[in-house]
Amino acid sequence: MSDTAFGFILLGVAMAVVLGIVFAITTRYGARPKPPAGVHLPPPSYLPVVLSVGAAIMGLGLVFKPDDQFANLFLLIPGLVIFIGGCIAWVRAANHEWRDTEHGSHGDGAAH
């Protein structure tokens, strides 16, 4: 086994151990309590994953390139489009959420 393969296996095992510890700690206390009135938590979003995928594709475009070019444009440009589109969507979602929070009913614990 090469040193690189051993390093990747060791990294994978370490990540699994850390994730297992985090999972054990977070599930030990049971159900999470609801936040107090006036505290606003954002809803779950897929947009961080979209940004990560776009950044990963851009990274692949910078790594897997021909010797005479700065980057592989067939990977860099789609990754950049996904990343910028994800940024725009995230800002729009945050703006929409802000408007709903500011102009929503104040009886349900919405912040103002």
The pLDDT assigned to 108 comes to 52
Tell me which residue range forms the domain holding 28.
1-32
Do 19 and 53 fall within a single domain? no
- Residue 3 domain flag: yes
- Is the pTM of the predicted complex or chain greater than 0.85? no
Number of domains, the chain: 2
Do 53 and 27 fall within a single domain? no
The pLDDT assigned to 31 comes to 67
Do 58 and 7 fall within a single domain? no
DSSP the chain: --HHHHHHHHHHHHHHHHHHHHHHHHHTT-SPPPPPTT---PPP-SHHHHHHHHHHHHHHHHHS--TTSSS-HHHHHHHHHHHHHHHHHHHHHHHHHHHHHHHS-GGGT---
Do 28 and 69 fall within a single domain? no
- Residue 37 domain flag: no
Do 61 and 26 fall within a single domain? no
Please give the chain's pLDDT, 112 residues, in tens: 777 778 778 888 898 998 888 888 777 766 666 767 777 777 788 899 999 999 999 999 888 888 888 888 999 999 999 999 999 999 998 888 878 777 765 555 444 4
- Residue 61 domain flag: yes
